[in-house]
Amino acid sequence: MSKFFYSPVVGIDVSADFSYVAILAPNGDVYKKSFKIKHDAKGFDHLVNEIKKVEKEFNMKTGIFMESTGVYHLSLFHYLNKNFDNTFVINPLITKCNKNMDIRKVKNDKKDALSIATIGKFQNIKLSQSLDLDIFLLKNLVREYYKLTDSCSTFKKKLSADLRVIFPNYSTIFSKPTSNTSIAILSSYPTPKSILDAPKEDIIKILIENSRRSLCWCENMYSKLINAAKEADIIGVPLNGLAVKISSSLTLIKTFKSEINTLLSEINTLLESSEFPKSIKENIELIDSITGIGHLTAITLIAEIGDINGFIKPKHLVAFFGVDSSVNQSGKFEGDQNRISKRGTRIGRRALYAVSLASIRRNRSGNPTNAILLDYYQNNLKGKKPKIALVAIMRKIINYIFAVLRNQKPFEQRDPKIHKQMFLENTSLSKIA
């Protein structure tokens, strides 16, 4: 049963420029027909006055519920949070499952507002009440970084594809066509013909300025470029018009790289600011102490998790990242090909996947990044499909993250047998006490 079962309740269906509001009396009857408010100061004040009238009439605090709708609900939620204690956000998955429960198919904003109010009043559901502006800002900056990185990757792939058409062996010269030296060469000479026609000293100059390597190395690279350009003149597709597309891709890649660097600089400036909460900085350092997690990944994970106190058990954090198993069962049938739910944070899951891959690798010296996880992957998960094994590693890492943030202590790598013995000793001591 909801704790607002005997209280008046407000349900708000949020749109971009306006919202519909429904109010239920303590007995569950509709107190006031759904009404519309605009997303401006006048509309927000009108809503606050209406809620205060309800609280005064029934002499009770009102529960205020709204659906999470991207960024549209944030200004209204923040405004109501300053005026009332019981303002909550409901996960859209919950409202979607409960909307339109009538036999007749009806879907409009007024009915949705009433449905949200009904959910808040009668159902004991998980709610979000806090809006940490520092975490919200950090999350937005981090997510924008990943968006720009993905966009940049798209144009990098397009560049590689176009080069394979008109300059087939270019990848044998530069393993990364988007390295600084490669971009400098292609920006001036985007086709094999333009490289063959260019003066040798000009190309050598570009190689020296951008690679910062020896003259001997630059001479060798020039020789490779000329040979590849001559071969491309024979086996490449003669579409010199693609030079325009290549130049366009190069311009966009350079722009994206510049914006990514600016964004990373802004994230670092934010974290170094004296006004930024010390607790968030400390949590980032704690996550960074886990073997296999880098600084940017630690920032990403903290930005997505927010307050660890919102998670009571490690399995709650597992569900938040969307790596919990889905369930398919009916009667005597139990599905055995269930996938992970993927209902949690997509960016967090992406970062976690990268960490799991890094944790089961070895460095150039042959030493494992995380010896315990590598041993678990190779022995305990032997015979499992690679992706299933990686999900198991991800869950292990989530347990590390939960323990580190809960205990507020840096990560300490222990052998599982020693860790188990320590746990049993601590349990027996607590029973004696």
Cβ–Cβ under 8 Å, residues 68 and 128 = yes
Instruction: State the average pLDDT over residues 286-297.
Output: 93
Residue 21 pLDDT:
94
Q: Measured between alpha carbons, how far is 152 from 260 in angstroms, rounded to an integer? A: 9
Residue 154 pLDDT:
94
Residue 133 pLDDT:
85
Q: Which of 208-212, 244-248, 279-283, 379-383 has the highest mean pLDDT?
A: 279-283
Q: What percent of the chain has pLDDT over 70?
A: 94
Segment 63-73, tens digit of pLDDT: 999 988 888 88
Residue 37 pLDDT:
94
Confidence band of 99 (pLDDT split at 50, 70, 90): low
Segment 74-93, tens digit of pLDDT: 899 999 988 898 899 888 87
Cβ–Cβ under 8 Å, residues 41 and 49 = no
Segment 4-49, tens digit of pLDDT: 888 999 999 999 899 999 999 999 899 988 999 999 999 999 999 9
- pLDDT score of 278 more than 90: yes
Segment 386-413, tens digit of pLDDT: 888 999 999 999 999 999 999 999 998 8
Q: Measured between alpha carbons, how far is 326 from 336 in angstroms, rounded to an integer? A: 10
Residue 241 pLDDT:
77
Q: Which residues on adjacent β-strands are paired with residue 88? A: 65
Output DSSP code: residue 71: T
Residue 112 pLDDT:
87
Cβ–Cβ under 8 Å, residues 117 and 95 = no
Place of tokens 């309800």: 54
Confidence band of 129 (pLDDT split at 50, 70, 90): low
- As a whole number, the mean pLDDT across the chain is 88
Residue 366 pLDDT:
87
178's CB contacts (< 8 A; 6+ apart) are 156, 159, 253
| Backbone phi and psi for residue 60, each to the nearest 5 degrees, phi listed first | -140, 155
3-state secondary structure of 13: strand
Segment 147-172, tens digit of pLDDT: 999 999 999 999 999 988 888 888 88
3-state secondary structure of 279: helix
Q: Position 83: which residue type?
A: N
Q: Measured between alpha carbons, how far is 168 from 235 in angstroms, rounded to an integer? A: 8
Residue 415 pLDDT:
76
Q: Position 243: which residue type?
A: A
Confidence band of 123 (pLDDT split at 50, 70, 90): confident
- Which domains does the chain carry? 9-131 (3.30.420.40), 137-266 (1.10.287), 277-432 (no CATH)
Cβ–Cβ under 8 Å, residues 311 and 320 = yes
Instruction: State the average pLDDT over residues 173-187.
Output: 89
Confidence band of 185 (pLDDT split at 50, 70, 90): very high
Instruction: State the average pLDDT over residues 134-142.
Output: 92
Residue 104 pLDDT:
63
Q: Measured between alpha carbons, how far is 409 from 186 in angstroms, rounded to an integer? A: 50
Q: Which of 111-125, 168-182, 290-304, 311-325 has the highest mean pLDDT?
A: 290-304
User: Which helix (H) or strand (E) is 315 found in, with range?
Assistant: helix 314-320
Residue 335 pLDDT:
67
Cβ–Cβ under 8 Å, residues 112 and 20 = yes
Residue 205 pLDDT:
92
Residue 391 pLDDT:
92
Specify the pTM: 0.84
Task: Order the strands of the 87-90 sheet from edge to edge.
Answer: 30-38, 18-24, 9-14, 63-67, 87-90
Residue 226 pLDDT:
92
Residue 403 pLDDT:
92
Pick left, alpha or beta for residue 310 (phi over 0 → left; psi -120 to 50 → alpha; otherwise beta). alpha
Confidence band of 52 (pLDDT split at 50, 70, 90): very high
Q: Measured between alpha carbons, how far is 428 from 426 in angstroms, rounded to an integer? A: 6
Residue 172 pLDDT:
86
CA angle, corner 300, sides to 85 and 127, nearest 5? 25
Residue 32 pLDDT:
81
Q: What percent of the chain has pLDDT over 90?
A: 48
Segment 220-243, tens digit of pLDDT: 999 999 999 999 888 888 777 788
Strand stretches in 220-375, DSSP E: 329-330, 333-334
